[in-house]
Chain A
Amino acid sequence: MQEITERIATCVELGKISKTTPFPPHMKGQDGADEIAAEALKNGVHPDALLAGCMQGMERIGKQYSENLVFVPNLLMSAAAMNAVMKHLKPYLESGALKRKGTFIIGTVAGDLHDLGKNLVAMTIKGGGFEVIDLGVDCSTEKFLNAIAQHPDCSVGLSALLTTTLINMEKSVQAIKKAHPSVKVLIGGAPVTDNYCRQIGADFYSANPQGAVEFLNKNKNI
């Protein structure tokens, strides 16, 4: 079981999606996350071992990314490898046989159509073992509040890339904290700073996705 976890973790870390994908070059022709996950489940390996592999692989790549040792394409390849495993785990997650750590709701704030940063955070948090509900871009405060009402134990992430939409981030954060004081609110995006986080009453700002995972691990609302 530990061997399967490590093999999955390695595939996720290195972005080896399947046997047919040529990346990384030194693993060309080898089984990838897709085949290893399918074979493991067929042989009766508990899905927990696969989910643990995803989490370990994403944690490794997330740390390397936060240290500028790897770059966005690496993170995207890792997320694709993780998704190749998650596809096999979906029935177990839906039946409740496999549990996630908690729920994380994420969206880009009103007036802002940028989604890259949000997507990178969403995939890293998903890889951290959380269920991620992605509300998309240009999210009104009402959209955040409605989603939180359906998942009251969640944490929430708001993203903004434009300085002009920071004001909407502030409005949404304050409305969320007023309606749901116990919900942890994380913010991020190019113009966002730690100071701004404190100023608008959010709980956490991270300059990289892995920081958000580490915060959620310490502050799980479950």
Chain B
Amino acid sequence: MSIPGLTLIAESINDSVPSTHVLFEENNLQGIVELARFQAEKGAAYIDVNVGLRTPAFMAEVVQKIQQHISLPLSIDTPDPEMAAAALEVYDRARSGDPIPILNSISEARLEMFDLYQKHPFIPILLATEGKDEFGGIKMNKTAAETHATARSIVHIARQRVEGLSNDKIIIDPGIMPIGSDSTGNFRRLMNAMQLIHQDSDLAGVNMSVGLSNFTVMLPPQKADGSAVKGPLESAFLTMAMPLGLNTIVGSVKRKYALLPPDHPAMQCLTDVLNLEGMEIIMRVMSYIS
């Protein structure tokens, strides 16, 4: 983790990580604390906390336990307003030197999360991946323009709900999808959406974040020659996305993220993918990982 200007929210305390799931199942909170400590020592700026489908009381207990031992600010990761409320209620700002926690995340389908702000301020991660359809239901945004429109819309809602909320206290998540199954050009949508958000004067100064490990999920860890697959592709993504305003990731402290030169094979792969369609994208990724 050594890219200036990139904030890392460490991802490992998440119920969807099998080894962390076991710790939760065994109520091994000391193990959770050790995981938080490890991530803090490896350069995390925030520790993400996602306890899955457990109780708000358990979430509160985990937050308290981590804060007893670790002074980094936390990212409260839940779509459940009750669980978020429980975590924010016990969150000790003084313990982390006063920075407010991140709340990961709020979408247009769960705006009630903003009601928690007045009592317990947080930096919201606002999801631009899903917006409202014409019937008021939720829909996955499929184009850069739709993603940008949702980003504008949810930021405006946030300003209405939270007086004085400035852009630099907002994180937009434009949504990252696995490159290994990207037959619909989602990577291109994401890059174009970030550019639209970055160039929008109304959104000037907002932070942008993605869950970077999702980008390479379902790919092999190594090529046939033993060289790494995932790290270079994630670094290539960062190299292309940071000039478009990406400054935060939910990612792994174990990964050695770096900015890559344009002639790096991973950079060439992603550059090619931007200009390909359908199964040609999959074939290009296959050619990179083979």
**Which A residues lie at the B interface, using CB under 8 A?**
15, 17, 21-25, 71-74, 76-77, 80, 111, 113, 116, 137-138, 162-164, 166, 190-191
Would you call A166 and B282 a contact (CB within 8 A)? no
The answer to the question of B165 belonging to the interface, with a C-beta cut-off of 8 Å to chain A, is no
The answer to the question of B269 belonging to the interface, with a C-beta cut-off of 8 Å to chain A, is no
The answer to the question of B139 belonging to the interface, with a C-beta cut-off of 8 Å to chain A, is yes
A191 and B286 in contact, given A72-B178, A116-B178 (Cβ under 8 angstroms): no
What is the distance, in angstroms, from A187's C-beta to the closest C-beta of chain B?
Answer: 15
What is the distance, in angstroms, from B229's C-beta to the closest C-beta of chain A?
Answer: 9
A166 to B139: give the CA distance in the assembly, Å: 19
What is the distance, in angstroms, from B279's C-beta to the closest C-beta of chain A?
Answer: 5
Can you sample 16 A-B contacts with CB below 8 Å?
A: A15-B286, A17-B279, A21-B283, A23-B287, A24-B286, A71-B180, A71-B289, A73-B282, A73-B289, A76-B183, A80-B282, A111-B138, A137-B140, A164-B79, A166-B53, A190-B16
Residues of B within 8 A of A162 (CB): 79
Would you call A80 and B290 a contact (CB within 8 A)? no
**Main secondary structure on chain A at its contact with chain B?**
loop
What is the distance, in angstroms, from B283's C-beta to the closest C-beta of chain A?
Answer: 4
Q: Which of B15, B279, B285 has the most CB of A within 10 A?
A: B279
A133 to B79: give the CA distance in the assembly, Å: 31
A74 and B139 in contact, given A116-B178, A163-B15, A163-B53 (Cβ under 8 angstroms): no
Across the interface, A22 reaches (CB within 8 A) one of B183, B219, B283, namely B283
Residues of B within 8 A of A74 (CB): 286
The answer to the question of B137 belonging to the interface, with a C-beta cut-off of 8 Å to chain A, is yes
The answer to the question of B181 belonging to the interface, with a C-beta cut-off of 8 Å to chain A, is yes
A71 and B279 in contact, given A138-B138, A163-B15, A166-B53 (Cβ under 8 angstroms): no
Report how many residues on chain B are interfacial, defined by Cβ distance under 8 Å: 27
Residues of A within 8 A of B286 (CB): 15, 23-24, 73-74, 77
Would you call B180 and A77 a contact (CB within 8 A)? no
Residues of A within 8 A of B265 (CB): none
B163-189: CB near A (< 8 Å → 1, else 0) gives 000000000000001101101000000
Residues of B within 8 A of A190 (CB): 16
Would you call A191 and B282 a contact (CB within 8 A)? no
A113 and B290 in contact, given A23-B283, A163-B15 (Cβ under 8 angstroms): no
Residues of B within 8 A of A23 (CB): 283, 286-287
Q: Which of A25, A76, A77 has the most CB of B within 10 A?
A: A76
The answer to the question of B220 belonging to the interface, with a C-beta cut-off of 8 Å to chain A, is yes
What is the distance, in angstroms, from A40's C-beta to the closest C-beta of chain B?
Answer: 22
A21 to B281: give the CA distance in the assembly, Å: 12
Would you call A76 and B137 a contact (CB within 8 A)? no
Residues of B within 8 A of A76 (CB): 181, 183, 279, 282
Across the interface, A71 reaches (CB within 8 A) one of B15, B138, B139, B220, namely B220
A164 to B219: give the CA distance in the assembly, Å: 26
The answer to the question of B130 belonging to the interface, with a C-beta cut-off of 8 Å to chain A, is yes
Residues of A within 8 A of B139 (CB): 113
Residues of A within 8 A of B177 (CB): 116
A190 to B286: give the CA distance in the assembly, Å: 24
Closest chain A residue to B288 by CB distance? A73
Would you call B16 and A73 a contact (CB within 8 A)? no
A77 and B218 in contact, given A72-B180, A137-B140 (Cβ under 8 angstroms): no
The answer to the question of B52 belonging to the interface, with a C-beta cut-off of 8 Å to chain A, is yes
Across the interface, A191 reaches (CB within 8 A) one of B53, B140, B219, namely B53
The answer to the question of B80 belonging to the interface, with a C-beta cut-off of 8 Å to chain A, is yes
Closest chain B residue to A162 by CB distance? B79
A221 to B218: give the CA distance in the assembly, Å: 33
Residues of A within 8 A of B15 (CB): 163
What is the distance, in angstroms, from A189's C-beta to the closest C-beta of chain B?
Answer: 11
Would you call B181 and A72 a contact (CB within 8 A)? yes
Would you call B285 and A73 a contact (CB within 8 A)? yes
Q: Which of B139, B181, B285, B289 has the most CB of A within 10 A?
A: B181
Closest chain B residue to A74 by CB distance? B286
A163 to B15: give the CA distance in the assembly, Å: 10
Residues of A within 8 A of B138 (CB): 111, 113, 138
A17 to B16: give the CA distance in the assembly, Å: 35
What is the distance, in angstroms, from B130's C-beta to the closest C-beta of chain A?
Answer: 6
